[in-house]
Amino acid sequence: MTEPEKKTLEKQPDTSTVSEQSDLESQLTENMINDENGEDAKTDKTLVEPTDIDDASDEKVYEDEIAALKDRLLRAMAETENVRKRSIRDRDEAAKYAITGFARNLLSIADNLRRALASVPDDARGVNETLDNLLSGVEMTEREFESILERHNIQPITPLGSKFNPNEHQALFEVPTAESPPGTIVEVVEVGYTISDRLLRPASVGVSAKPPTEQLENQETDTLEADSQKSNNVTEQD
């Protein structure tokens, strides 16, 4: 072998050594990849397959959450129903009592019409034709006005002879008398009114009271004397 050929052989690399190094590096890389995949698989297996203790704990948590959601749902439904009922009640009250202030101001008209008719004595009727026509017009106006009030559920309170009720009546004075039990309304000064089932204006009344003892005795004496006088008259006639 010539000298140039020896130099050429010395310069060429050892292919067997390079191949062995490449195989070794590939094996190491594969082992590292397998190790990583194995750890990931273990981790996934741990997450996917919980223990029995974790299952029981999670089930309890879910049941508590469901119970809490049911409670919130029931409360929300109850609140919605209350709001609906309240809205209906407010709407009905608005329809019934929306004209309360206006109706209260109109009551003075009824009072004035009633006073105008009461101011004319009975013996003055039938004497003057003009006055009779005027009274007839006032009476018709009063009846029409009362009819309009009734169409709007406004009713008068006429408590004469009934028991005094502080929820509907306003006592202005007491009348000592033995003819009516104490607390009985013996005089109506101003008629009261209600709108639907609510008081619009109380009736102003005079209430009977127990008379003083001396006055009561005098009344009883007068009554006895009157009865005795009647008996005497009947006897004389016989």
Split at pLDDT 50, 70, 90, the class of 165 is very high
Per-residue pLDDT tens over the stretch 6-43: 444 444 444 445 455 566 566 656 666 555 555 554 44
Please state the pTM of the whole predicted model.
0.55
In this predicted structure, the answer to whether residue 167 has a pLDDT above a threshold of 80 is yes
The arithmetic mean of pLDDT across residues 206-230, rounded, is 69
In this predicted structure, the answer to whether residue 180 has a pLDDT above a threshold of 70 is yes
**Whole-number percent of the chain with pLDDT over 90:** 34
Region class of 64: left (phi > 0), else alpha (psi between -120 and 50), else beta: alpha
* CA pair distance 195, 192, nearest whole angstrom: 11
Looking at residue 28, its pLDDT comes to 59
Q: Which residue has the tokens 């209906």?
A: 88
Per-residue pLDDT tens over the stretch 55-104: 667 788 888 889 899 999 999 999 999 999 999 988 888 878 888 889 99
Looking at residue 80, its pLDDT comes to 92
Q: How far is CA 148 from CA 68, 107, 145, in A?
A: 57, 12, 5
Looking at residue 199, its pLDDT comes to 93
- CATH of the domain spanning 156-238: 2.30.22.10
In this predicted structure, the answer to whether residue 2 has a pLDDT above a threshold of 90 is no
